[in-house]
Structure 1
């Protein structure tokens, strides 16, 4: 699932043979309007981190089945050496088709993610500070898992 048509085309080109279903929609819209309970929700540098957290995390919590798992990774807020003063930023990016687009990003400290997840009704089970390589001094990725009680 992705709100970018170019990303969907790329996914179909790479993984179309798997019989997976690819949805061109926003995660928030899909989570708010679909009915089935989900055992797991995974976001890899995706909607979580680029969508206002309280709305999306609450939608995830509503859709997860009892004991369902949410796992996501976002760029680590300390990847540049300092935590941003404001968690919300807009970043211009070039899309694969050459067009430019502004991406909203929430760079939140790990404790802020834990609080947001708890407010959404989820229990955090792990927080990992990942490094791109062994010689990288600063963490580059934040990986968080949570469970619906």
Structure 2
């Protein structure tokens, strides 16, 4: 059901967005609330010339920001509607957008990547074992994996059996079930380690500041030294 939901969502947004190119966002966001948490600096220093891929890029906001910062960026998404949004607004930035799923993309190339990012994207929307292993195979020795997912404790309790099914509303008022992999932080660490990577940071981000429970889990990892 997930691709159908996002295609319907993208069609509605395209019909209501001003046509033509947009300026890339000034800041990279890892959460659903602008200005909360870190930005692109967690990818490490100057991004000029670095090869980066965003898995599940959606409308392309993050991909466009990274391209504007000088990186060579590909945004990957399995939703054709989201790709139409990304190309309509951000193709001029130099970013490249590909309509394919994350595993197919990672498995079809051999060139090393300097960073792989996922912002509420492909990582977290499927069982992570194969996807994290594919990320590990494509990262350079100093490459960074950074991904944010809805915090598994955002409602106060962590689901015992992933995936979690949540109800999302389409623009016409109808609803569909979306699946996401809500697993506790220790399980994410073990999954990253099994993929051959080492977790370097795990941020429990709250938004807004008075929220009782964290809303976003942001994880960074790299190849072992």
**Counterpart in the other structure of 1:88:** 163
Identify the match of residue 191 of structure 2 among 106, 116, 127: 116
1:96 CA displacement = 6.7
Unaligned runs of 5+ in 2: 1-75
Q: Which moved more, 1:80-89 or 1:105-114?
A: 80-89
Corresponding pairs, count? 149
Bigger radius of gyration, 1 or 2? Answer: 2
Identify the match of residue 53 of structure 1 among 107, 128, 133: 128
1:16 CA displacement = 2.0
Q: Which moved more, 1:47-56 or 1:12-21?
A: 12-21
1:46 CA displacement = 0.4
Q: Is the 8 A contact 1:3 1:24 kept in 2?
A: yes
| Distance in structure 2 (CA, Å) of the matches to 1:5 and 1:92 | 22
Q: TM-score, normalised by structure 1?
A: 0.91
Secondary structure of 1:68's partner?
strand
Q: Deviations over 1:32-71 (max 9, x none)?
A: 1111110100000000001210000000000111121100
**Counterpart in the other structure of 1:11:** 86
1:94 CA displacement = 5.0
Q: Where do residues 1-149 of structure 1 align in structure 2 (5 Å cutoff)?
A: 1-94=76-169, 102-149=177-224
Alignment RMSD: 2.0
Give 1 or 2: higher strand fraction. 1
1:103 CA displacement = 3.4
Q: Is the 8 A contact 1:6 1:96 kept in 2?
A: no
| Distance in structure 1 (CA, Å) of the matches to 2:129 and 2:117 | 17
Unaligned runs of 5+ in 1: none
Q: Deviations over 1:4-57 (max 9, x none)?
A: 111111222332220210010001110111111101000000000012100000
Secondary structure of 2:221's partner?
strand
| Distance in structure 1 (CA, Å) of the matches to 2:102 and 2:221 | 18
Q: Is the 8 A contact 1:117 1:124 kept in 2?
A: yes
| Distance in structure 2 (CA, Å) of the matches to 1:16 and 1:98 | 31
Q: Which has the higher contact order (CA 8 A, sep 6+)?
A: 1
Secondary structure of 1:14's partner?
helix
